[in-house]
Amino acid sequence: MKDKLLFESVERELNRQRSNIELIASENFVSEEVLELAGSVLTNKYAEGYPAKRYYGGCQFVDEVEELARKRICEIYGAEHANVQPHSGAQANTAVYLALLQHGDKVLGMSLADGGHLTHGHPLNFSGINYEFYSYGVSKETETIDYEEYKKKVEEIKPKLVVAGASAYSRIIDFEFMAKVAHDNGALFMVDMAHIAGLVAAGVHPSPFPYADIVTTTTHKTLRGPRGGVIMCKKEFAADIDRAVFPGMQGGPLMHIIAAKAQCFYEVQQPEFKEYAKQIIKNAKAMEKVFKEEGFRLVAGGTDNHLLLVDVKASCGISGKKAQRLLDEINITANKNAIPFDTEKPFKASGIRIGTPAMTTKGFKEEDFEEVARIIAYRLKNEETDEIKEECLKRVAKLTEKVTMYSNIKYI
């Protein structure tokens, strides 16, 4: 028997996903096959352990599923070993630290304020609490990673581990240089490529794989799979990584999600995925062009990947928080985001982060994203009036009315 109250909430969220322009850079829309597997009977199965080494009976079929997921992701990236069990990116990173570090070891990661991630050493996160984290960041002039400062820090601090990767960084990361500096100074080099994993898989962003000892990712961003994490590593770290995930940090893996991950990796291996990833970048460049025409200041001067950081404080004299609300009201979803050297608190922030992966999945091309950028500029640069709001809502509806994704799904 359905809980009507609950199913109605889910139906409302489905309608929001259908009708809104989704610009959160870390979100995407999975295929109906991924959805089906994420809601499959595999949710019923306990499978602590790994294929052929489980602590429960009846695992022969979930073993097949996990083997497919591991094999496919290794093929995609040319990885030597993969663990597909982490429930999230944060848990993937936790497991890596558990495998490689002792409590109090020195680690160098990108500062959250400059575009890094909480698990790369924020003082309130387990990473910053359990390990002695230091941070590198971007230069004030270019707002791109200050590689010279990074090198100096690695040489001075001599960390045991260097963490590369970011959540709000719009330029290509020089993994080769960062790995060389880390290795020359006796550090292990880990890349958290969660945001760009799909771009790397399609060959439209340089791969960390020839250089990194360990690579973590989520599966739900540019990879367009279910919410979850993965760790890939060189063979020499495989046993330690597997032990850190189970029994170190997790119990039973989510086998329904691992099946959905395997389907996602199958989709990534199809030729269309490369076109999708190329289109993500073309679409981000189309937005960059319009924002520049509209006189907006873009952090780091623009984008090479799937996201843009717009300095709305400098461009329109409003906070990221207000910009997020103004966009929410016209059915455009983005998130406020701190920009480098931000003078506002993170909850207010001076920027908004805008990503193209989700609407590219829905079929938007350059001309659609140009119109989205024009609507955003029109809403944020003008007074907050009902007339402008109504006009923007009409323009958004015109863009989304042609989208057919999820039109066969219903919850009530």
Tell me if 220 contacts ligand DSN by CB under 6 A.
Answer: no
The answer on whether 118 is annotated among ligand-binding residues is yes
* C-alpha to C-alpha distances, 305 to 48, 175, 301, nearest whole angstrom: 37, 15, 13
Which residue's CB is nearer to ligand DSN, number 28 or number 167?
167
- Residue 332 in 3-state DSSP? strand
In angstroms, what is the C-alpha Rg of the chain? 21
Binding mask 10-49 for ligand DSN (x = CB under 6 A): ----------------x-----------------------
Tell me if 228 contacts ligand DSN by CB under 6 A.
Answer: no
- Beta-bridge mates of residue 216: 192, 231
The answer on whether 161 is annotated among ligand-binding residues is no
Note the residue count of the chain.
412
Active site residue 406: no
DSSP secondary structure, 129-198, as one string: HHSEEEEE-B-TTT-SB-HHHHHHHHHHH--SEEEE--SS--S---HHHHHHHHHHTT-EEEEE-GGGHH
Active site residue 218: yes
The answer on whether 186 is annotated among ligand-binding residues is no
Active site residue 48: yes
Of these, 167, 305, 350, 361, which contacts ligand DSN (CB under 6 A)? 167
DSSP secondary structure, 290-306, as one string: HHHHTTPEEGGGS-SSS
Residue of 54, 72, 221, 379 marked catalytic: 221
Of these, 89, 115, 198, 228, which contacts ligand DSN (CB under 6 A)? 89
Residue of 54, 70, 72, 227 marked catalytic: 227
Question: With DSSP H G I counted as helix, E B as strand and the rest as coil, what are the percentages for the chain, rounded to 5?
Answer: 50, 15, 35
Count of chain residues binding ligand DSN (CB under 6 A): 5
Sign of the Cα pseudo-torsion (372, 377, 378, 379, in order): positive
Residue 355 beta carbon to ligand DSN: minimum distance, rounded to whole angstroms: 9
Which residue's CB is nearer to ligand DSN, number 159 or number 229?
229
Residue of 94, 144, 216, 218 marked catalytic: 218
Residue of 22, 114, 146, 192 marked catalytic: 192
Sign of the Cα pseudo-torsion (148, 151, 155, 156, in order): positive
Of 173, 169, 168, the closest CA to residue 190 belongs to: 173
Active site residue 46: yes
Residue nearest to ligand DSN (CB): 26
Tell me if 117 contacts ligand DSN by CB under 6 A.
Answer: yes
Q: Take residue 335 and report the two structure tokens written for it.
A: 């998130």
The answer on whether 112 is annotated among ligand-binding residues is yes
Which residue's CB is nearer to ligand DSN, number 227 or number 256?
227
Residue 192 beta carbon to ligand DSN: minimum distance, rounded to whole angstroms: 9
By CB atoms closer than 10 A (0-12, 13-18, 19+), residue 391 is middle
Neighbours of 15 (CB within 10 A): 13
User: Which residue numbers belong to the known binding site?
Assistant: 112, 116-118
Active-site residue set: 46, 48, 192, 218, 221, 227
Query: Where does this chain bind ligand DSN (CB under 6 A)?
Result: 26, 89, 117, 167, 194
User: Which residue numbers belong to the known binding site for (6S)-5,6,7,8-tetrahydrofolate?
Assistant: 112, 116-118
